[in-house]
Amino acid sequence: MNKVLRNIFFSLLSAGCLSACHDLDVPLESKLNPSNFPQTQAQFILASGPVYTAFGSATLTREYWFLQSLSTDECILPARGGNWFDGANYQQMHLHTWTPDNGCVNMGWSLLTTTISTCNQVLSTFASSPVEADPQILAEVKTMRALSYFLMMDLYGNIPVV
């Protein structure tokens, strides 16, 4: 009985695969490009959303706090019986022996450069739009980029400005 059910299932699966649609050149009816998005005030606000998503992650605030506080005598994270040791990441921060491979240093850099890159991409989208963006939205995106640059300079010193 098992063999019969397996043959029926295989036959139905083969018939479904062979009768599947092979036409892959389907016309796009809702393609977003610079000529049709963003055009309204609401669309400009929606287009600036990824900037706030990239900057507002809880990981960024945690990593920034780790880099600012664990590298000073303000706080320490003790390894309680081997727990929380985390490959000596926190100990390296406290002893100032971190390397670019340290999770806190690497993640802080990655999150801030992602925010800057997202800001640049949104500003490029605004510049290529046929409708002029609201000055307030442009100022907000530029402020988020400037804040990210400020945090990077505070943490890493002389950084490349793109």
The reported pTM is 0.74
pLDDT, tens digit only, all 162 positions of the chain: 678 778 887 777 776 666 666 667 777 666 777 777 788 888 889 889 999 998 887 788 888 888 899 888 888 887 777 677 778 888 888 888 988 888 888 888 999 999 999 999 999 989 988 888 889 999 999 999 999 999 999 999 998 887
pLDDT digits (tens, 9 = 90+) for 126-162: 998 888 888 999 999 999 999 999 999 999 999 888 7
Helix, strand, coil fractions of the chain, as percent rounded to 5? 65, 0, 35
